[in-house]
Amino acid sequence: MRAALTWRDRAEQCIYDIAFKPDGTQLIIAAGNRLLVYDTSDGTLIQPLKGHKDTVYCVAYAKDGKRFASGSADKSVIIWTSKLEGILKYTHNDSIQCVSYNPLTHQLASCSSGDFGLWSPEQKSVSKHKTSCKITCCSWTNDGQYLALGMFNGIVSIRNKNGDEKVKIERPGGSSSPIWSICWNPSRDERNDILAVADWGQKLSFYHLSGKQIGKDRVLNFDPCCISYFTKGEYLLLGGSDRQVSLFTRDGVRLGSVGEQSSWVWTCKVKPDSNYVAVGCQDGTISFYQLIFSTVHGLYKDRYAYRDNMTDVIVQHLITEQKVRIKGRELVKKIAIYKNRLAIQMPEKILIYELYSDDSADMYYRVKEKIIKKFECNLLVVCSDHIILCQEKRLQCLSFSGVKEREWLMESLIRYIKVIGGPPGREGLLVGLKNGQILKIFVDNALAIVLLKQSTAVRCLDMSASRNKLAVVDENDTCLVYDIHTKELLFQEPNANSVAWNTQCEDMLCFSGGGYLNIKASNFPVHQQKLQGFVVGYNGSKIFCLHVFSMSAVEVPQSAPMYQYLERKMFKEAYQIACLGVTDADWRELAMEALEGLEFETAKKAFTRVRDLRYLELISSIEDRKKQGENNNDLFLADVYAYQGKFQEAAKLYKRSGHEGLALEMYSDLRMFDHAKEFLGSGDPKDTKMLIKKQADWAKDINDPKAAVQMYLSAGEHGKAIEISGDHGWVDMLIEIARKLDKAEREPLAKCAFYFKQLDNPGYAAETYMKVGDLNALVQLHVETHRWEEAFALSEKHPEFKDDVYVPYAQWLAESDRFEEAQKAFHKAGRQREAVRVLEQLTHNAVVESRFNDAAYYYWMLSMQCLEIAQENEGQQTEMLQKFHDFQHLAEVYHVYHFIQRYTEEPFSFHLPETLFNISRFLLHSLTKETPLGISKVNTLLALAKQSKALGAYKLARHAYDKLQGLQIPDRFQKSVELGSLTIRSKPFHDSEELVPLCYRCSTNNPLLNNLGNVCINCRQPFVFSASSYEVLHLVEFYLEDGITDEEAVALIDLEAPRVSKRENKWQEMLSDHTQSLRLDDSTDIIIEDDDPFTAKLSFEQGGSQFVPVVVSRAVLRAMSRRDVLVKRWPPPLRWQFYRSLLPDASITMCPSCFQKDSACLIHDEGVLVQAALCHGATSWLHAEESLEVQEVPPQHFG
């Protein structure tokens, strides 16, 4: 920093205060009893202002520039306009010591020895506030909210804008240290308001608005009379009894003197937004200085160090933009940086820093050495182990301990010095002198080497990376480039103020001047672009430029010099330039040029940069061909042209090199068939076929499929023609192709069939399969298209496909919820296990869903399925027969429970009470062991109880109600059961005789509740029940003697007509309260057979507990009448069952499938009869005589 005097003037009286107009054009000076107005540009006096009668002590200008105020010893304050006219005057009781304008509200504070006043343009009066001591100075905060008052007794009082005291600061010196000047820091970057206080205790202090002191007091060694901040608050000025104005940092560090005076300095102010300072002295001298802050910095490659706030050093990494601040408390005079060393010169010492690590991106510096000694020098350079000081003509080399090791004395003034590298302790320096001499100096050598000498003074110089060339900028702004070894001037360029070689490329340099940046490569013309500042470094594609105080790294594409090399086919040099930094388009251009120039190595590197795998593959293939001995450059270049799209040039080169086939292939691939035909000639027919095929491919790609199909057929490419036709759904085209193809061409025919299936045209698909003879595929086609009739017909002709047809058919039926048909299909396919599994699942579902009639039917089917398995598989015969009997029993139980469930769940029933009574009795006797799934004993007993009560079987009803009490009854039946249990107690404890069943073998009346089940309690003969009313039928089962087969028995029965029996019709009429019935008599002589041998067989030994079946001989069989016998013709391995009717006049019918029986006299509705069958399928039942004649019904016949 240095101060240059701009102008000076002298008044006759002491200058106590000065003020700048906010725009800086005028300076108001308080001199004697007048105000002097100066023009700041040249120091001319514009006008003296009179109005005060005594000495003017203070003056202040409002921020808006419209008014300024002055205060005088005559106790008055005058308000002046910017036109230098007085507009208002008011007075205090004492002389005015200081005035200050609020920066926002423009409220004026005027302070005297005993009070202070606040005036604003909006108020007519001045509000005054008393103080206990004389006020010497005042200052408003930036936001205008608080006013600080400096007192003669050493106290600082901070008031709000209404005049109320908020903070009181008492200085240690008290009244012996009067506060003579205070000022708030105007910086907007500070987070808190900071007040600078200067007192006559010769101390400078800083305080927060809260009154808290910042740091310690700074000793001044003089009495301060004035203090003033720069506009941005980065520096402050102090003047006083030391007869000079000193510059301080905002933290209070003294930086230097602005200008020495011959008397005390009473006032100093900084011109707004500038570096100009006005100074007023005791002897009336007015001085106007310009402060010049020089740039103190250093640069080495990508590290730039510069001074900030005069005391700090910032090191900036120009590539990563990282910055680190090294704080100091003294003025930084010089900075030097080299590799990992940083030297900072201060007034009394030099600090040597080093990087903490060797990392290129490390920004942490630590102190290595301190040289505590004052040095005066023009330039400072640091090396690995030394400090180089430049003093006019002298260079001194000092160690880091401060010891002078070497000295060089030059012939002329040293204008430029630069470290050019070297081993530690042996670095080399370039030195440029005013007389044009350029020297090389090594720090370990006392002799300087003269490189060359020119006629003009050196301003800047630099050496190329290989140290073969030297660039010099002279005092005529000319850049001269020399060959160091031959001293020859290679070239020169005008308008240069600084120059730098590229550290990564030998032949590139840049220089700046005239607002332009100039880049020169080798001997090519200069490339220019606009750029302000000085070039100080050039690294790769980055140019480091210093503009005023700012260092920036400018990214400069190296496209222009690269193209200059390309024009001369210097591909390797162009590649080196491109590596410094060019765009992708430039890289591609370089790659293409090198490829056309057959410089494959450079082209490969360039294409790698842009990641173009296509061209890299081309280069790789050419290199492989060259290794194999191929050296036809025309052929290589033709390939290159073909890749670049220069097809005509490529074709010409192919033809010239004798490879017309390659031209044909190229044009074919490009669909340029007209050009391709030019190279076809009378060549191989394969080429013609290939061309047609490719033309067909092209027609397909351009969405002309019909033309493509025709071309493919012409070229013999049937597969592709079929694919296109199939994809477009052209069935007619496909069948035409299929019919033309030979049956030996199985693959294209199979593809035709595939598309026929896909296009839902199974007829053509079947035709195609028949042509090929692929019966398996034909079967699959019929199965997939559900053409079952054709599939069945085919399986009949070819039994080996039976499983392939019936298994999918069964699965399809199952998926269509046609489970019964699916079961038949599985059965027909021989898949017994699947058939049984389907039936079991159907049965379980029916039970779970309470479809008990269906469940009975499915159990009957299961039983018949088991019977068939037993017939076919002797190993499982016993197990299957047991399952047959179990399933038959379950079928009958579920069939009966179906009516009970409907009675309990539905509001109405079509069955007579007697029928429901018989059904519930039958079901209860059938559930003597385990109760099957889904059957409710509660429903069964409840139905039995209700019907028994209604028909007069009170004993049985009471038993049913008692049984119900031990079961868990649903809530909806609870009340009914409880009521029935109570009311049945009022009935007689016996059953109606009309309801008692009769055994037709032994003529015994059986109780309604039989512990043995559905057998006679006397003879143990099983009862045979009607399928509709479930009354006991007049049938007795008889068995054949050993040796008599079932067929022989039937033949014997049919052999002779039986005799007519004498029958005595004994009828009995019975009357009751509700019914009137006519029934046969119960007596044992109800049938009178004079000579019937079967009657004799009915007798048995009384008192036995075992059932004794009726066994008949051949003679008995011959005596039987065919109309009295019913036969259950079971398939093997079961024997047939024979039943004899004991009431021949009563007709009995039987279902031919499930062998359910019923008495014709009890049938009222054919529909009831049909539903009574387990098999669901009987449309007509058999009478006794018909049962002897009917053929055996196979078990898979379901009616």
The band of 1173, judged by pLDDT with boundaries at 50, 70 and 90, is low
* Measured torsion, CA atoms of residues 1172, 1174, 1178, 1180, in degrees rounded to the nearest 10: -50
| In a domain? residue 90 | yes
Q: Which residue has the higher pLDDT, 428 or 675?
A: 428
- CA distance linking residue 765 with residue 756, whole number of Å: 5
What is the mean pLDDT of the segment spanning 691-708?
Answer: 54
- CA distance linking residue 38 with residue 205, whole number of Å: 33
- CA distance linking residue 764 with residue 738, whole number of Å: 9
Is 1060 buried (19+), middle (13-18) or exposed (0-12) by CB count in 10 A? exposed
Looking at residue 314, its pLDDT comes to 92
| In a domain? residue 118 | yes
- CA distance linking residue 413 with residue 406, whole number of Å: 18
| In a domain? residue 320 | no
Q: Identify whether residues 620 and 571 lie together within a single domain.
A: yes
CB-based contact 920:927 (threshold 8 Å): no
| In a domain? residue 747 | no
Collect all residues with Cβ–Cβ distance below 8 Å to 1131 and sequence separation of at least 6.
867, 868, 871, 1192, 1194, 1195
Region label for 341, one of left (φ > 0), alpha (ψ between -120 and 50) or beta (otherwise): beta
Q: Note the helical H segments in 568-672.
A: 571-580, 584-596, 600-609, 613-627, 633-644, 647-656, 660-669
Looking at residue 806, its pLDDT comes to 57
Residue that the structure tokens 């790294």 belong to: 553
- Residue at a domain's end among 957, 987, 1017: 987
Question: pLDDT tens digits for 1177-1190?
Answer: 533 444 444 454 43
Cα 712-718-724 angle, rounded to 5 deg: 70
Question: pLDDT tens digits for 259-307?
Answer: 889 999 999 999 999 999 999 999 999 999 999 888 888 888 888 899 8
Q: Identify whether residues 116 and 243 lie together within a single domain.
A: yes
Sign of CA dihedral 637, 638, 644, 649: positive
Tokens, residue 589: 């251009």
Annotate 117-129 with DSSP letters as a single string. Answer: EEE-TT-SS-EEE
Cα 1019-1025-1027 angle, rounded to 5 deg: 170
Q: Identify whether residues 47 and 125 lie together within a single domain.
A: yes
Tell me the residue range of the domain where 654 lies. 563-681
Most confident of 6-20, 825-839, 958-972: 6-20
- The answer, yes or no, to whether residue 728 has pLDDT greater than 90, is no
Q: Identify whether residues 552 and 571 lie together within a single domain.
A: no
- Residue at a domain's end among 235, 259, 292: 292
Q: Identify whether residues 619 and 542 lie together within a single domain.
A: no
Q: 3-state class of 302 per DSSP? A: coil
| In a domain? residue 691 | no
Whichever domain contains 169, its CATH number is 2.130.10.10
- The answer, yes or no, to whether residue 75 has pLDDT greater than 60, is yes
**Which residue, among 138, 154, 43, has the nearest Cα to 98 in the 3D structure?**
138
Question: pLDDT tens digits for 512-540?
Answer: 988 888 988 888 888 888 888 889 888 88
- CA distance linking residue 751 with residue 731, whole number of Å: 13
Helix (H) or strand (E) holding 657: none
Question: pLDDT tens digits for 315-361?
Answer: 988 888 889 999 988 889 999 999 899 999 998 899 999 998 888 78
**Which residue, among 433, 348, 445, 347, has the nearest Cα to 393 in the 3D structure?**
433
- Residue at a domain's end among 513, 541, 556: 556
| In a domain? residue 112 | yes
| In a domain? residue 1169 | yes
Looking at residue 112, its pLDDT comes to 93
Q: Identify whether residues 140 and 247 lie together within a single domain.
A: yes
Collect all residues with Cβ–Cβ distance below 8 Å to 626 and sequence separation of at least 6.
none
Q: Identify whether residues 19 and 148 lie together within a single domain.
A: yes
Q: Identify whether residues 569 and 548 lie together within a single domain.
A: no
Pairing of strands 469-474, 479-483: antiparallel
| In a domain? residue 297 | no
Q: How many CA atoms lie within 13 A of 603 on its CB side?
A: 21
Q: Note the helical H segments in 1004-1073.
A: 1046-1053
Say what percent of the chain tops pLDDT 90: 30
Q: Identify whether residues 489 and 514 lie together within a single domain.
A: yes
Instruction: Specify the DSSP class assigned to residue 365.
Output: E
Q: Which residues of 1180-1193 are buried (b: 16+ CB within 10 A; e: fewer)?
A: ebbebbbbbeeeeb
Number of domains the chain is built from: 5
Q: State yes or no: cis peptide before 347, omega within 30 of 0.
A: no
- CA distance linking residue 523 with residue 527, whole number of Å: 12
Verdict on whether the full-model pTM lies above 0.75: no
Q: Identify whether residues 1039 and 1059 lie together within a single domain.
A: yes
- CA distance linking residue 30 with residue 49, whole number of Å: 10
CB-based contact 810:834 (threshold 8 Å): yes
Q: Identify whether residues 961 and 1027 lie together within a single domain.
A: no
What is the mean pLDDT of the segment spanning 169-183?
Answer: 89
Most confident of 333-347, 939-953, 1064-1078: 333-347
The band of 1171, judged by pLDDT with boundaries at 50, 70 and 90, is very low
CB-based contact 149:159 (threshold 8 Å): yes
Pairing of strands 86-91, 516-521: unpaired
Q: Identify whether residues 972 and 1007 lie together within a single domain.
A: no
